[in-house]
A and B are shown apart, each in its own frame.
Chain A
Amino acid sequence: MSNNWKSYKPLLIPAIPDLHEISVYEKNNGYQALKKILKDRKTWSPANVVNEVKTANIRGRGGAGFNAGLKWSFMPEPDGEPRYLACNGDESEPGTFKDRKIFEFNPHQFIEGAIIAAYAMHVEVIYVYIRGEYRPFVQKLQKAIDQAYDKGYLGKKILGSDFSVEMHTHMGAGAYICGEESSLMESLEGKRGYPRVKPPFPAQRGLWGRPTTINNIETLANVPLVMNHGSDWYLEIGPSTHPGPVLYGISGHVNRPGVYEYPAGMNIMTLINEVAGGVRGGKKLKALIPGGSSTPPLRADMLEGVTMDADSLREAGSMMGTAGMVVLDEDTDIVELVWRISHFYDHESCGQCTPCREGTGWLEKTLRKMKDGNGEMRDLDLLLAICYRMEGRTICALADAAAWPVRYSIDRFRDEFEKKCKKTVYAVA
């Protein structure tokens, strides 16, 4: 797929003016997937919809990359009591700014996907959790939801069927951790966003103790595509192990930053050089953070032939994350950068678990000392030790997210760190 990206026509956010208006969306095949399902509920029983989506292998676009249909299949049999779908629009991972594009330019495709997901999982209430900083985008989504209610795609007895579902927006208020799915549920329940101990998993005990599934916004926007065109068609897009379109958020030192939609598995250098117009000011590329701040940065020389999909990035030594790519030029001060990332995680740690609460602050303080030129060589070992002691020791993955960039940066840019450190020689006592 070396060059056919050039002819790729966006599917998640097609270039259609005013697509956010329901009438325009309807004219462009909108809500057809939902209609198709509700018209032929024998073919499209909830279980069959789950299977179709599972086959399509839509890998969660929120960072974990888990098969969305498989996640849906974890929901227990309905027992007549409430069950919930929570749509995760918290999008707070630095470097990530893609879901807001869906809210602004193609909200109905997400709404349609969420309704189908609700149908497939026997859910009657959908909450869309969106970070509080996105207030203008929440308003845009709310407008689209209102339109969908007016047209009978949401609410009681949708399109004359006996299927009903409500959709509510819920605005966060400034807490990165609320993007973690159990923390998101706590926040939705009106509490401090403390991640929950798992098990029980959300499908067992989620919102208000009831079965709940949490899906990313972009993930759900893929669902109508699968239902309209079939999983076979969907699997043809991008690599078979990580199929479908992806919203690449490219930022940092590039000429044309922004969100681009291409199939998964795009060559990274193509994305940087051709799609985003290359490194700004004709400078050399130093490094790339491929999928948001928690994904380990890759040195320029590690990017050769690497593509934006889970497998290729794992091999290269990083992760797909949210596909929020931060491009860093040769003048970037890695120590300064890593300090700022640590500062972020220190600020955002909820403070519940010991290793994260204390470890993020310790990393931040040590890196601050280092970037201010007061570091010592032994601090590098200390930083690594702190990272190892944080990873895998907490309820949620924030500690890991905070440790990885530090650990891998030291590993991959050790000389830059060493340059910032004083060469103190300690007499052996």
Chain B
Amino acid sequence: MAETYTFDAKDLAEIEKLTAKYPEKQAAVLPVLWYAQDKFGHSDPAVQKLVSETLGVPEAHIRGVVSFYTQFYDKPMGKNVLDVCTCLSCQVCGGYDMLHYIEEKLGIKAGETTPDGQFSLQSVECLGACGYAPMLQVTNDKFVNHLTREKVDKLIEDLKAGNKPEFESNPMPQHEKGS
């Protein structure tokens, strides 16, 4: 069950570049965890161990960091993690409706993963897209704004088909009016 993870020569070269940005190796803990999570999909104990060994930073410290920052997954997650914002602006603009709609649609509760491992669903704190509420973020990456039931349906279909959402630009309304 316990998988082993390794960094290959190319990874180590990249990590070398990340560490070079800082006067101390420990500072590279977050960037290297990101790098590892991008590669392995999570930061579970085995990945933490690898990062610890790679950077020479104590493993307990890595665990402390992973558990402090919500975007690091200390266990494997679904292929797509849907982080639905339910905070403040999203709350008052229907964030919970969207969350519950997705819960119903996927048949799981927030905090759970679908049995097929396709989707994990989380209710999260403000993601910084308050003007485009309600919204969600897909696996720590692209934002999907102005959610509606239809938009959620399509997103889930797309994700099932392996299509990740595109970056949505939200221009300044002022610019639109001016141009």
Contact = CB atoms under 8 A, between A and B. Distances in A.
Direct contact of A and B (CB under 8 A): yes
How many interface residues does chain B have, given as a range? 35 or more
Contacts of B24: 189-190, 208
Interface size range of chain A in the complex: 35 or more
A326 B27 contact: no
A357 interface: no
B175 A15 contact: yes
B88 A172 contact: no
A341 interface: yes
Interface stretch (A126-134, A197-205, A302-310): A126-134
Interface stretch (B7-15, B101-109, B129-137): B129-137
A42 interface: no
Interface in B1-48: 21-24, 26-31, 33-34
B175 to A, nearest CB: 4
Contacts of B117: none
Interface string B28-71: 11110110000000000000000000000100010011001111
A87 interface: no
Contacts of B26: 189-191
A261 B171 CA distance: 12
A173 interface: yes
B142 interface: yes
B172 A190 contact: no
A111 to B, nearest CB: 16
B104 to A, nearest CB: 21
Interface string B123-165: 0011111111100010011110000000000000000000000
23 contacts: A15-B175, A92-B125, A100-B128, A132-B140, A133-B127, A171-B31, A172-B69, A173-B69, A173-B70, A173-B72, A174-B70, A192-B65, A252-B93, A257-B89, A257-B130, A258-B170, A258-B172, A260-B173, A336-B91, A340-B88, A340-B91, A344-B88, A344-B125
Interface of A: 10, 13, 15, 82, 91-97, 100-101, 104-105, 131-136, 166, 168, 170-176, 187-193, 208, 249-253, 256-261, 289, 293, 324, 326, 328, 332, 336-337, 340-341, 344, 347-348, 350
Interface of B: 21-24, 26-31, 33-34, 57, 61, 64-65, 68-72, 86-89, 91-93, 125-133, 137, 140-143, 167, 169-175, 178-179
